[in-house]
Structure 1
């Protein structure tokens, strides 16, 4: 079984009656009191976000559980998710873990993992950027034997790392270029584009990004809001989404080309050369936007003044869990 406990979404990937089962859930939890008994009840995932948007807890917003309270919420969320989906306990589980300089958060996440009901046969963790790159390079785990660069474009962090036969070289992470930043920019852009008549929340901005963001064939779209006092106001978005995504790509390319890669070249010149002769793996939720991998390849090549090849898995948002599952399968077979 492969598991990615993500800041926005958690993904489980495992075999079920000969097929591969994928469980996706928003990483959030809400509690309420039973109207009859007064007992505390729990909702998680999309249902919690829809029914209790005013009190729902996203306990991994920074990528890791920052304190004991967040760790307890994460533990409760993960337990509810496992029970609701009847996930087998006697299993080999591999967790895709973010690359972050946060010892306390990583310890808390480790506690959540080790206290879970699954993983009775074996339990391991590997870097999320490595797990996500595995489906980009083939149908097995060929990436483990490669020298390459992986870039994970997530909601909370931009991660980059070189791998030499599975070993991390110069892991890099920044919270200054994220999918969440794109959502915030879309909120501001919509208000500006509509001359202050429309203000959307972050959830709506994320939906605009995921549904309409497209570097290949973006088309303006319309939406409707209810106005105070009655009546509806229809508005059209022509620039807000793609302007935010253009900023994101430029900023991501700048971080990779001018922060991460120079450090890699300085510390490991030969692996740096080998990695750029190979394809760069692009994973994470932002890589799901149509045309983004190709546009990233074009802009990174221009910034480095050399041809760079970029490859992305078919489902970048599921890639980390799928890569972790393939590692778990290899471990189980051994």
Structure 2
């Protein structure tokens, strides 16, 4: 139902576009997998309950390194043919076996109403039950920068109502959690000044951090990974002169499997024809055209929206932040070469040198950073 990765050696896997079934390489905690339990054996747990995927990081049962659970944030129910009882599937298994009825309950980034909150609670309960995640734990979970008090309260209820976090439950911004693994200093980065760009599925979030304080947070739902999926689907239809129509799941897979700013190569796929037979087609431009537009829009929003506001509100922080690397977090930051593209285009737009960095695994970074923070909090209980 989900993928569990062990990190006994503390080595990061290769960065690449994430896929539905498995991550490329081993997930790791930001400190190399050796965050000690707190007092009375309290275990740190980091959680990112995301719109597309959920990641949980916790200590390995053998005390060597960490375990990483990474799965699609979705749920499906079916009736047991023997007992008549309702059964639940979650994650990849639910998406593959019940594609017509599977529910992604956090499409907007948060559980918006009672029904989605209940579904999210069921999903999280099933995930925890299927994995050896300690109940005697200090939990830190990442939250999006969205002005939605009801949704944030629902997410809090999902986490606090679960079996974990018996000693402590606390939330921090996703972009802060996701930034920490990108810095060599790890938790020391909380005491620094930097800008973070969270390139998520449902929102683009940009903010500055000053000793952990979030300054001038900007969030927009118009520049997102989900929007790029829609563009890929539309561009594939245009590129094939209307002969090929793909759904958003396939478009996301094309993006995650093939988008590459360093060395993109055209790829082929095959569809079944309605009247029988199959049609093979080649995609040359659709995926990278959509991703190119995404980077241009991100750079425009940062350069002409966020940074002027930061300069107007906190000029000294603005000056100091641009002397430091800008941190890219979120699923879109997984695309090969996107760091260099953002660097180049933002430098051109600002007419000054800008550097950017990301964690080795941006798709795991928010939960890894949350795990580091949970370890610190647990050690001080």
Bin of the TM-score, shorter chain as denominator length: over 0.9
* Deviation for aligned residue 1:261: 1.1
Q: Distance in 2 between matches of 1:142 and 1:150?
A: 16
Equivalent of 2:53 in 9, 12, 37: 9
Q: How many residues align?
A: 334
Is residue 35 of structure 1 aligned with residue 81 of structure 2? yes
Higher RCO (C-alpha 8 Å, min separation 6): 2
Secondary structure of 1:169 counterpart: strand
Q: Which residue of 1 aligns with 2:144?
A: 98
Helix, strand or coil for the counterpart of 2:352?
Answer: coil
- Distance apart, 1:139 and its partner CA: 5.3
In the other structure, the counterpart of 1:25 is 71
Equivalent-residue separation in structure 2 for 1:242 and 1:92 (angstroms): 42
Q: Report the Cα distance in structure 1 between the residues aligned to 2:285 and 2:213, rounded to whole angstroms.
A: 42
Matches of residues 64-213 of structure 1 in structure 2 within 5 Å? 64-138=110-184, 140-213=186-259
Question: In structure 2, what is the equivalent of residue 219 of structure 1?
Answer: 265
**CA deviations over 1:94-145 (Å, ceiling 9, x no partner):** 0011110111111111111111110112111110000000011125312101
Query: Are residues 1:311 and 2:363 paired?
Result: no
Unpaired segments ≥5 residues, structure 1:
none
Are 1:291 and 2:329 an aligned pair? no
Matched residues in 2 for 1:293 and 1:251: separation?
15
Question: Structure 1-normalised TM-score?
Answer: 0.99
The question of 1:279 aligning with 2:325 is answered yes
Distance 1:199 1:38 in 2: 38
Detail structure 1 runs of 4+ shifted over 3 Å in the superposition.
none
CA drift at 1:315: 0.3
**Cα deviation 1:256-291 (Å, max 9, x = unaligned):** 111111111111110111011111000111011000
Partner of 2:91: 45
Q: Which moved more, 1:107-116 or 1:184-193?
A: 107-116
Query: Which deviates more from structure 2 when the two are superposed, residues 136-145 or residues 204-213?
Result: 136-145
Alpha carbons of structure 1 residues 111 and 316: separation in structure 2 relative to 1, 3 Å: same
Match of 2:111, SS state, is: coil
Counterparts of residues 238-277 of structure 1 (less than 5 Å): 238-277=284-323
Q: Deviations over 1:164-184 (max 9, x none)?
A: 011111111100000000100
Distance 1:196 1:314 in 2: 38
Tell me, in whole angstroms, the C-alpha distance in 2 between the residues paired with 1:19 and 1:242.
37
SS at match of 1:23: strand
- Partner secondary structure for residue 241 of structure 2: coil
Structure 1 residue 325 displacement after superposition: 0.4
**Superposition RMSD on alpha carbons, in Å?**
0.8
- Runs of 5+ consecutive residues of structure 2 not aligned to the other structure: 1-44
| Gap change, CA 1:275 and 1:141, over 3 Å in 2 | same
- Aligned partners of 2:348, 2:110: CA distance in 1, in Å? 34
Alpha-carbon distance in structure 2 between the residues aligned to 1:160 and 1:307: 19
Alpha-carbon distance in structure 1 between the residues aligned to 2:156 and 2:126 = 18
- Once the two structures are TM-superposed, the CA of residue 305 in structure 1 deviates from its matched residue by 1.1
